[in-house]
Amino acid sequence: MKLNVKNETSRLRAVVLGTAVSNGAVPKVEEAYDPKSIEHIKAGTYPKEEDMVAEMTAVANVFEKYDVKVFRPQIIENYNQIFARDIALVIEDKFVKSNILPDREKEIQAIQYVIDEIAPDKVYKAPSDDIHFEGGDIMLHNDHIFIGTYKGEDYSDCIVARTNMKGVSYIQSLFPNKIVKEFDLNKSMDDPRDNALHLDCCFQPVGKNKAIIHKEGFRNLNDYQYLVDLFGNENLFHIDKNEMYHMNSNIFSISEDVVISEKGFTRLNSWLRSLNITVEEVPYSEIAKQEGLLRCSTMPLIRD
């Protein structure tokens, strides 16, 4: 298989879509690794496997409609394998395995059968354990690579900070010709409305030259300003705390003019339609309870 991904929006041909099958029992609070899951564990509203499986099937059906080749992870019993985005990423023709949160380390084994189809000299893994990065923090924008990170001194105690500056440097070392721009993100283990878990939870390019953004997701206003200057303010769709909480920036593009989005994202979906983008609506509010949405559960392998 010849990989090719250079941005978030070119026509999709092949993708890994996570799975909610055998997701395991409702975790204990101390087993969860994001504040939104914790909120739902405490409230007794943690999502049921059958509901999440149905939501992911709706996404698979959209891919089928657009003739996209879909790979699903093999099932690891009682293990969360929904968020395929984070376990590895494709940049151009390279497949880079993430150095992910230890709780999620086993997920990659389930797509070994996909990795086996890639030329071994195109598969990369960071040389040391203190280099951290997850796919949700890394976004491609042609000559740019955008990377979400956290520069706070409490990084090592913060399980919602998944990409460090060593991770940023590692990605730059693999792609010396790209402009790598890092973004310091706001993190909160207590309140999901203040937690930009990954870059794709507060920002994502869409369409030809547009992007969705949550200003308060950025710790450093210069980082936010960088995106305003690059895209132009008139091309940005600003979402508020609540919309971030519901994960409006985490839709997924099949092409510049076709997007998969959550059916409840009324304001966002009408903006997309006003740009002549076809919006394929799916129900995804159960998956969203685990602080991830459509971009988080997909890992593109081939785009045009």
Ligand X SMILES: NC(=[NH2+])NCCC[C@H](N)C(=O)O
Q: Is the dihedral of CA 253, 254, 256, 261 positive or negative?
A: negative
| Window of 30-38, 61-69, 138-146, 217-225 that interacts with ligand X by CB under 6 A | 30-38
What's the CA gap between 243 and 237, in Å, rounded?
11
| Window of 49-57, 186-194, 273-281, 290-298 that interacts with ligand X by CB under 6 A | 290-298
- 173's CB contacts (< 8 A; 6+ apart) are none
DSSP per-residue letters across 105-172: GGGGGGGHHHHTTS-GGGEEE-SSTT--B-GGGEEEETTEEEEEE---TTGGG-TT----HHHHHHHH
Q: Side chain identity at 296, as an amino acid letter?
A: C
> Rounded to the nearest whole angstrom, what is the least distance from the CB of residue 275 to ligand X in the complex?
24
> Rounded to the nearest whole angstrom, what is the least distance from the CB of residue 274 to ligand X in the complex?
26
What's the CA gap between 133 and 66, in Å, rounded?
31
Q: Does residue 201 belong to the site contacting ligand X (CB under 6 A)?
A: yes
| Per-residue binding letters, 57-86, with ligand X (x by CB under 6 A) | --------------------------x-xx
User: Would you say how long the chain is, in residues?
Assistant: 304
Q: Does residue 200 belong to the site contacting ligand X (CB under 6 A)?
A: yes
Q: Does residue 290 belong to the site contacting ligand X (CB under 6 A)?
A: yes
Select the residue interacting with ligand X from 10, 15, 17, 33 (CB under 6 A): 33
Q: Does residue 37 belong to the site contacting ligand X (CB under 6 A)?
A: yes
**Using CB under 6 A as the criterion, which residues of the chain lie in contact with ligand X when the complex forms?**
33-34, 37, 83, 85-86, 136, 197-198, 200-201, 290-292, 296
